[in-house]
Amino acid sequence: MSQHSYKIEQLKYDLKKSILLIPAIALMIGFFIIPIFMTVYYSFTNLALTGSNAKNFQFIGLLNYKTMFTDPRMWASVFHTLIFLVGSLIGQSLIGFFVAYFMQKKDQTFRSIVGPCILAGWVMPEIVVALCCFAFFDTSGTMNAILQTMNIPGVKWLYAHPMLTVILANIWHGTAFSMLNYQSALGNVSSSITEAARVDGATRVQTLFRVTIPCIKDTIATNTMLNTLSTLGVFGLIWAMTGGGPGNATTTLPIYMYFQGLKNFQLGQGTAIGMVLLLVGAIFSVIYTKTLGNED
């Protein structure tokens, strides 16, 4: 075979590869790249859902961003988002990890009872979780009924501690995901390593912190990142439970974005908030990938 025909074969092969990629690329461009650029563009306009700006919207430069960053409610939303994020992450990861850890050496019956209980919160659609938790934490709900049987006065959960309540709901919803991740990671930690550590005289706690956890570091990072991204996007749960209130005590960025963009009809401002949300997600992703990358 001559050099020439070899080149043609190579070209054909490359062409074949690229043609097969066309549908995937078209999907990416159509449903991902274009919307992102449109969002960026709209965030610089005064586009509205209805009213005169719906018909003739204009390019208004950085005005949306300027008003957004001088708006105390925006900063409050960022703050609420961080509290919600950190609270959910700590709860989901810790509970998820310890459930997985303690279930490890238990017998099958125990595992088949505890596992599904935790999974129940995860397999339920978000809105069902929200309704269940609303009924549970309502002033005349299950939680207060339980407290009353123990002669503890009821608490107005959704009103007095709204942020704590939605975080608890989100933890209940998301713990199973962490648990599954950690279960598979712990299963991969070779028992010979931990046994060796025990033989060398390490206590259980030392083995856990010095041997097991370092072994599953990558899973911890990946799990935290996935949880971060899904928690940043939580909307339905909070919206159905508190509507972002009372006041704006549970108004996180997605709620605020919905409020400005769809309830106030100011789509331009809504997309500008969306950009901030995107940025927060990007920052966290970079941090996690950096910590992950250093290990390699």
Partner 1 sequence: MKKLLVILTLALISCSMLFASGASESSSKSDNGKPTITYTFRDDGRGSDQILWKWIEEGYNSWDKKDQVNLDMAPITASEGDYFTKIALQLSDPATSPDLVCEDTFQLPNDVSAGYLTNLDSYVSSYADWTDGKYYASMQKAVTGADGSVYGIPYCTDTRGLWYNRAILTEAGVIKQGEDWAPTSWDDILDACAKIQANTTDVIPFWCNSGVATGEATSMQTYEMLLYGTGERLLTDDGKWIIDSDSMRASLKFLQDIYNNGYGPSLDLVLNGQASNTSARKYFPEDKLGITLDGIWITGNWKSTGPSPVADYATKFGLAAMPTSKGQTPGTVTLAGGWAFSIPENSDAKELTFEFIQHLMDPEASYLSSIIEQGNICTRTDVGPIEEYAKQPFFEQATEFLKTADFRPQNDKYSTVSTAIQYMVESVVTGTSIDNAISQYGKDVIRTVGKENVVTL
List residues near partner 1 by CB under 8 A.
12, 15-16, 19-20, 22-23, 26-27, 30, 48-52, 54-55, 67, 70-73, 139, 156, 158-160, 243-248, 259, 262-266
Query: Three-state SS for 49?
Result: coil
Of 155 and 278, the one with the shorter C-beta distance to partner 1 is: 155
CB of 64 to partner 1, least distance (A): 10
Residue 81 Cα distances to 113, 228, 250, 255, 295, angstroms: 34, 11, 8, 10, 29
Which residue, 49 or 119, is less far from partner 1 as judged by CB?
49
Look-up: residue for tokens 């099958």?
108
Q: How far is the CB of 37 from partner 1 (least distance, A)?
A: 19
Min CB(279)–partner 1 separation in Å:
21
CA distance 276 to 68: 10
Cα 185 from Cα 172, distance rounded (Å): 21
CB of 52 to partner 1, least distance (A): 4
For partner 1, the closer of residues 12 and 290 by Cβ is 12
Nearer to partner 1, 116 or 246 (CB): 246
DSSP assignment of 195-222:
HHHHHTT--HHHIIIIIIHHHTHHHHHH
Distances (CA, A) of 139 to 25, 162, 246, 254: 51, 12, 14, 26
- Name the residue nearer to partner 1 (CB basis): 216 or 255: 255
Report the nearest approach of partner 1 to the CB of residue 48 (Å). 8
